[in-house]
Amino acid sequence: MKRFIRAFPYVFFIIFSCAAAAYGFDVKGLQPLQPNGIFSTFSTSTNPASRFATQFELEQSINPTFYQVNSSVSFAVTDLIEASATIPYHMKTSESGFEDIAIGIKYRFLEEEQYAPSVAALVSGSVPSGRDVISTNGRIGGGLIFSKKIGPFKTHANMFVYSPFKQGLNAEVDFLLGAELQAANNLSILTEVLTKKSHNINKFDYLDWKIGYRFRPLDFLYTTLSAGYGFKTRNPDVRIYMSFTIIYPPAGKSIKRIYEEEKE
């Protein structure tokens, strides 16, 4: 099992390196940083106060083929509030360039109870900084995030609405469901389903499923590998993802000391 986990990243790297070129594009927007999310699905979890995280994600879409590089950062203002930003770079022969930079704030205002999920609100906006062909001239929106532990699974649900600034575009509506199963101390199996009504059409025209795993080789480093398939999609049908997340300062291990009083 350990040999498979070590070899798996190299298999994904080879797949990334061997694809052809074509077209395909969708607005990326704000993305969660591991381990506080499932691919594109946010969880209500936040890092401890004053902790900084940075994430680098490679995405390749196949048939047609294009590449996306997503750089994200986050900072935990408090134990309940976290600010983050995502800078997507789209790579295609005729449409290469930056998409709009997305920024947002997540606030967890309800903690999980025995029968009730934890709930967080996300407010997000995009700065009109991308190329015209891959930009909505900025947008604003947000929604609610729900997280609940059900048996061995941690489950998450997101509902978001975004209003673009570019004239002639419709509001985007996203519904996401994600789940994670901790298979080992440093390994989690992840899956997510995403359905979307994009800004180009007034119906839900996108349904995507992803599966993969999150591996923590070091206390401050997370590696996530996944593949997705579009059951109802505008093209492409298959996507492959690889991300690396660094958290600083790393979580220290707590050491418990037991003191015994001497009796005379």
Please give the mean pLDDT across all residues of the chain: 83
184-199 per-position pLDDT tens digit: 999 999 999 999 888 7
Domains of the chain: 2-248 (2.40.160.40)
**What pLDDT shows up at residue 133?**
66
6 or 200: which leads in pLDDT? 200
Count other Cβ atoms within 10 Å, centred on residue 144: 14
> What whole-number distance in Å separates Cα of residue 259 and Cα of residue 130?
60
Q: What is the average pLDDT across 33-47?
A: 96
d(CA 117, CA 188): 21
Give the tens place of pLDDT for each residue, 83-102: 999 999 888 756 678 888 99
Q: What is the pTM of this model?
A: 0.82
Q: Is the dihedral of CA 177, 227, 32, 79 positive or negative?
A: positive
Which residues make Cβ contacts (< 8 Å) with residue 74, sequence separation at least 6? Answer: 33, 47, 52, 53, 54, 55, 82, 83, 84, 85
Phi, psi (rounded to 5 degrees) for 165: -85, -25
Copy the structure tokens of residue 195.
């359905």
Alpha carbons 70 and 125: distance in angstroms, whole number: 16
- Paired with 84 in beta bridges are 74, 104
